[in-house]
């Protein structure tokens, strides 16, 4: 066999192989045939060019011309139900489980929403209380003598700023920087409500104290405080 004949045969083999394989490849690469060209439910809903994405105990999740949808197998004809091994008892059990899970999910969302709303309301109330305290209550400081989950006991001192005078370089008397002065808030120790979290005995607390004693009916498990009780907020 001549060399030219050998070259021709070698070139022809890939060509014939391509002609045999190409039609199958073209067929496989074409658009997939839908599971249902038209799918109609007992309720009269109609979906076109439907491909089943997921089979569930009580329904089919389909992709169709209009997007995605979930169709209940209860709403499809018996032939389709048989095609997907539909068991009405199992489907009803699955439906009930889904309903229980959905109710639990909605309840959790409601609880989370209520918790968030309550937290926002508490934050707003705390901001309002701080503004009132900053403008109307007494600035104080004291050392923590003891603490409970509800507040601290402290030897409280009122902080005052006393005006001062100074002599300028030219010899004139002028207003100087105010002097910080501490005055005992009361003769004994004070219990401050809802402050001091994270403070240890001996730590210094600073903030604003309501000058009016706090009066509140005691609960069944609460003990009467041995010290005068005042509302307070910690200085930021």
Instruction: Give the pairing of strands 67-72 and 59-64.
Output: antiparallel
Question: Beta-carbon neighbour count of residue 91 at 10 Å?
Answer: 18
Question: What is the 8-class DSSP label of residue 56?
Answer: E
Cβ-based neighbours of 33, under 8 Å, separated by 6 or more: none
Residues 74, 75, 79: CA angle, nearest 5 degrees: 80
> Region 60-64: what's the mean pLDDT?
95
Least confident of 88-102, 135-149, 214-228: 214-228
pLDDT value for 5: 52
Query: CA 172: distance to chain centroid?
Result: 62
Q: State the pLDDT confidence band at 218, using cuts at 50, 70 and 90.
A: low
Return the higher-pLDDT residue of 63 and 216. 63
Residue 209 has pLDDT above 90, yes or no: yes
pLDDT value for 10: 47
Task: Give the chain's mean pLDDT.
Answer: 86
Query: In whole angstroms, what is the distance from residue 160 CA to residue 163 CA?
Result: 10
Residue 23 has pLDDT above 70, yes or no: no
Give the percent of the chain with pLDDT over 70. Answer: 83
Least confident of 10-24, 49-63, 99-113: 10-24
> Region 168-175: what's the mean pLDDT?
89
E strands present in the chain: 36-40, 46-56, 59-64, 67-72, 138-148, 151-167, 173-184, 190-193, 204-209, 229-234
Instruction: Give the pairing of strands 229-234 and 190-193.
Output: parallel
- Phi-psi map region of 214: left, alpha, beta (phi>0 left; psi -120 to 50 alpha): beta
The CA R_g of the chain, rounded to the nearest whole Å, is: 41
> Region 68-75: what's the mean pLDDT?
93
> Region 119-129: what's the mean pLDDT?
94
Beta bridge partners of 54: 61
Q: Identify whether the C-beta of residue 33 lies closer than 8 Å to the C-beta of residue 18.
A: no
Cα–Cα distances (Å) from 192 to 134, 142, 143, 152, 175, in that order, read 16, 11, 12, 5, 36
Q: Identify whether the C-beta of residue 41 lies closer than 8 Å to the C-beta of residue 75.
A: yes
């Amino acid at each position: 066999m001549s060399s030219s004949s050998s070259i021709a045969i070698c070139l022809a083999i890939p060509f014939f192989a391509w002609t045999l394989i190409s039609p199958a490849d073209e067929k496989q690469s074409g658009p997939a045939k839908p599971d249902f060209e038209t799918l109609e439910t007992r309720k009269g809903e109609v979906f076109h060019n439907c491909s089943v994405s997921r089979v569930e105990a009580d329904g089919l999740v389909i992709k169709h011309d209009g997007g995605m949808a979930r169709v209940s197998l209860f709403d499809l004809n018996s032939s389709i139900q048989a095609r997907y091994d539909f068991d009405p008892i199992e489907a009803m059990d699955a439906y009930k489980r889904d309903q229980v899970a959905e109710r639990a999910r909605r309840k959790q969302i409601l609880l989370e929403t209520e918790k968030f709303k309550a937290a926002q309301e508490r934050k707003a109330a705390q901001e309002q209380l701080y503004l009132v305290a900053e403008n109307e209550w007494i600035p104080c400081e004291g050392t923590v003598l003891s603490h409970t989950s509800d507040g601290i006991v402290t030897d409280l001192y009122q902080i005052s700023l006393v005006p001062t005078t100074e002599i300028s370089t030219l010899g004139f008397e002028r207003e100087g920087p105010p002097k910080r002065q501490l005055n005992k808030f009361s003769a004994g120790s004070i219990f401050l409500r809802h402050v001091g979290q994270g403070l240890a005995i001996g730590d210094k607390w600073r903030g604003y104290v309501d000058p009016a004693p706090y009066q509140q009916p005691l609960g069944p498990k609460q003990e009467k405080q041995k010290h005068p009780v005042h509302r307070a907020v910690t200085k930021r």
